[in-house]
Amino acid sequence: MNRHKQKLQTAGGNTFWKRAKRDRQLWIILLPCIAFYALFRYGPMYGLIVAFKEYDIWDGLIKSDWVGFKHFIEFFHSQDFVLLFRNTLLLGLSNLVFSFPFPILFALLLNEVRIKKLKTLAQTVSYLPSFLSVVIVCSMFIDLLSPTHGLVNTILENLGFPRTYFIIKPEWFRFIYVSSGIWQSMGYSAIIYLAALSGIDKTLYEAGEIDGCGRLRAIWHITIPGILPTVITMFIISSGHIMRIGYEKVLLLYTPVTYKVADVFSTFVYRKGLENWDFSYATAVGLFESVIAIIFLFITNNISKKFTQNSIW
Q: What CATH code is carried by the domain that includes residue 284?
A: 1.10.3720.10
Tell me the average pLDDT across 73-86. Answer: 88
Q: Does 29 share its domain with 140?
A: no
Contact 53, 286 (CB under 8 A): no
Q: Does 128 share its domain with 25?
A: no
Segment among 16-20, 141-145, 232-236 with least mean pLDDT: 16-20
- pLDDT (0 to 100) of residue 40: 86
Q: Establish how many alpha carbons lie within 13 A of residue 115's alpha carbon, considering only the half-sphere containing its beta carbon.
A: 4
Mean pLDDT over all residues of the chain?
Answer: 84
Residue 300 lies in a domain: yes
8 pLDDT band, cuts 50/70/90, is very low
Max distance between CA atoms of the chain, in angstroms, equals: 90
Q: Strand pairing partners for 66?
A: 53
Q: Does 104 share its domain with 183?
A: yes
Residue 295 lies in a domain: yes
What phi and psi values does residue 37 have, to the nearest 5 degrees? -70, -35
Least Cα distance to 290 among 66, 88, 93 occurs for 88
Q: Does 81 share its domain with 49?
A: no
Q: Which domain holds residue 283?
A: 69-308
- pLDDT (0 to 100) of residue 310: 67
Residues 6+ apart with CB under 8 A from 253: 138, 141, 142, 167, 173, 176, 177, 180, 262
Give the single-character DSSP code of 276: S
Beta strands in the chain (DSSP E): 53-54, 65-66
Q: Does 31 share its domain with 125?
A: no
Residue 286 lies in a domain: yes
Residue 62 lies in a domain: no
Give the single-character DSSP code of 166: G
Domain count for the chain: 2
**% pLDDT > 70, the chain:** 93
